[in-house]
Amino acid sequence: MKTLAVRLDDELHARIGMLSKLSGMTVTDTIRTAIEKHLDTLANDPAITAKAEELRAEIEKDAELQRQALSALFGSSTTQAPKTTRGRGTKG
């Protein structure tokens, strides 16, 4: 779990504190729930989804260029990790 410090103005802090108390939740849980709901909203936004697809395509293009550069430098064998086997020695 990560810790995140967030600066809030006094009014917003008071609202969160009061609503948390009234709902029987901790301030941390109230903030966590609000963030989760907002992230769900963003994830379902068609504009965000379109941007995510554009970013995915850009990342895949960059990754392919890097793979090609590695192949040009070191040959195509660098695309797969070498397999090593460890066998048990025989006692004689």
Number of domains in the chain: 1
Q: Which domain holds residue 31?
A: 10-69
42 part of a folded domain: yes
Write the CB contacts of 6 (distance below 8 Å, at least 6 apart in sequence): 31
Closest CA to 28 of 60, 9, 49, 2: 2
91 part of a folded domain: no
Closest CA to 31 of 16, 53, 49: 16
Q: pTM here?
A: 0.62
Q: Which residue has the tokens 């301030």?
A: 27
Question: Residue type for 47, please?
Answer: A
75 part of a folded domain: no
Q: What tokens were used for 80? A: 């797969």
Which pLDDT tens digits describe the chain residue by residue (92 residues)?
999 999 999 999 999 999 999 999 999 999 999 999 999 999 999 999 999 999 999 999 999 999 999 999 998 765 555 555 555 555 55
